[in-house]
């Protein structure tokens, strides 16, 4: 189905599919394509309204009977790490950050495959080959970086593989008001290091170094164990009801939305603020 605004890009909605976060529910997405002419401005504007980027598409959940998926971001200036997060930072102090252009490598793909096989073997990305991986990394019309984390040999626990010091990778968009973590993956054999948490902590520091006020974490879904870790970061905001607000008590957001309370797609599109 297509929904079009005058003077604006075209918006589409996907067919319902099984929700990957909440059992028994269906998801659909509202999306639009990014074109080189105004891609950066559109990415900036729609990211502030709960959209996310995947290659050259911007999307936002637009389910028929649920509004559980809420975009989340951290206010960098107000963030205070917890005791556990400080321990994670100390534990990974030996890792070096290397920010590069959005270019895929075989080394990254090998790490990506190990991550998927261990953590998401039955997920939607489980069958991705190296060409699809390269497209995920390289097909971007906006300011995108690949942030690598390197350090001690990450394959010591598995002598049958080739040595590599690549521990983690994050595909990161640079917005006008923050850093957006598009996708991250890490060596599952280094799970004791809590590398997913380290990536977020380091991006908070990177945003602070560059004077950017926010770190966008993607979607937080109350009731989803996969998303619980995001609520453990202080100064977390969620995009709910068309505005950014403090997360507060996560339990306050667990009520299901009544189907009649979800606005029609055409009304959702009409309220989008475009650059």
CB of 22 closer than 8 Å to CB of 224: yes
Q: Residue 238: what pLDDT? A: 97
How much is the pLDDT for 140? Answer: 94
Spell out the residues 6+ positions from residue 90 whose beta carbon is closer than 8 angstroms to its own.
Answer: none
**What pLDDT is recorded for position 21?**
84
**Which domain covers residue 25, as residue numbers?**
2-70+220-226+237-270
Residue 17 and residue 83 share a domain: no
pLDDT at 163: 46
Cβ-in-10-Å burial (0-12, 13-18, 19+) of 248 comes to exposed
Does residue 165 share a domain with residue 132? Answer: yes
In a domain, 185, yes or no: yes
Q: Specify the pLDDT at position 2.
A: 56
Q: In this structure, is residue 160 part of a structural domain? A: yes
DSSP 3-state assignment of 272? coil
Q: What is the pLDDT of residue 86?
A: 98
Assess contact for 79 and 235: CB atoms under 8 A. yes
**pLDDT value of residue 67:** 83
Q: Tell me the backbone φ, ψ of residue 86, rounded to 5 degrees.
A: -65, -35
Indicate whether 232 belongs to any domain. no
Instruction: Provide the 10 A C-beta neighbour count for residue 118.
Output: 12
**DSSP output for 54-100:** ETTEEEEE--SS----EEEEEEGGG----HHHHHHHHHTTT-EEEEE
State pTM to two decimals: 0.89
| The pLDDT of residue 167 | 96
Structural domain count of the chain: 2
64 and 88 inside one domain? no
Are 169 and 206 in the same domain?
yes
Q: What is the mean pLDDT of each run of 10 residues along the chain (275 residues)?
A: 60 90 87 92 97 96 86 98 97 95 96 88 74 95 96 53 77 98 95 96 97 97 87 96 92 69 83 91
On whether residue 56 sits in a domain, the answer given is: yes
Exposure string of 11-20, with b = 16+ CB inside 10 Å and e = fewer, is bbbeeeeebe
Could you tell me the maximum CA-CA distance found in the chain, to the nearest angstrom?
59
- Residue 154 φ/ψ, nearest 5 degrees: -85, 5
Instruction: Please tell me the predicted confidence (pLDDT) of residue 257.
Output: 59
């Amino acid at each position: 189905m297509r929904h079009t605004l005058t003077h604006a890009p075209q918006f589409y909605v996907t067919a319902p599919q099984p929700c990957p976060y909440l059992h028994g529910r269906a998801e659909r997405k509202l999306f639009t394509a990014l074109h080189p002419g105004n891609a950066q401005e559109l990415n900036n504007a729609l990211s502030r309204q709960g959209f996310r980027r995947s290659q050259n598409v911007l999307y936002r959940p637009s389910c028929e009977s649920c509004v559980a998926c809420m975009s989340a971001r951290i206010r960098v200036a107000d963030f205070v790490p917890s005791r556990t997060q400080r321990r994670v930072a100390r534990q990974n102090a030996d890792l070096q950050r290397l920010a590069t252009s959005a270019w895929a490598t075989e080394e990254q793909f090998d790490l990506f495959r190990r991550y998927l096989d261990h953590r998401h073997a039955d997920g939607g990305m489980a069958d991705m080959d190296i060409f699809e991986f390269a497209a995920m990394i390289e097909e971007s019309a906006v300011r995108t970086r690949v942030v690598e984390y390197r350090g001690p040999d990450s394959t010591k626990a598995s002598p049958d593989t080739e040595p590599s010091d690549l521990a983690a990778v994050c595909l990161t968009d640079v917005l006008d008001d923050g850093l957006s973590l598009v996708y991250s993956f890490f060596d599952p054999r280094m799970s004791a290091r809590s590398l997913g948490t380290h990536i977020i902590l380091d991006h908070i520091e990177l945003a602070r170094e560059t004077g950017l006020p926010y770190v966008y974490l993607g979607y937080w879904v109350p009731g989803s164990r996969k998303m619980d870790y995001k609520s453990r970061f202080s100064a977390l905001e969620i995009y709910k009801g068309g505005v950014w607000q403090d997360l507060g008590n996560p339990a306050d957001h667990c009520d299901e939305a009544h189907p009649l309370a979800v606005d029609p797609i055409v009304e959702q599109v009409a309220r989008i603020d475009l650059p």
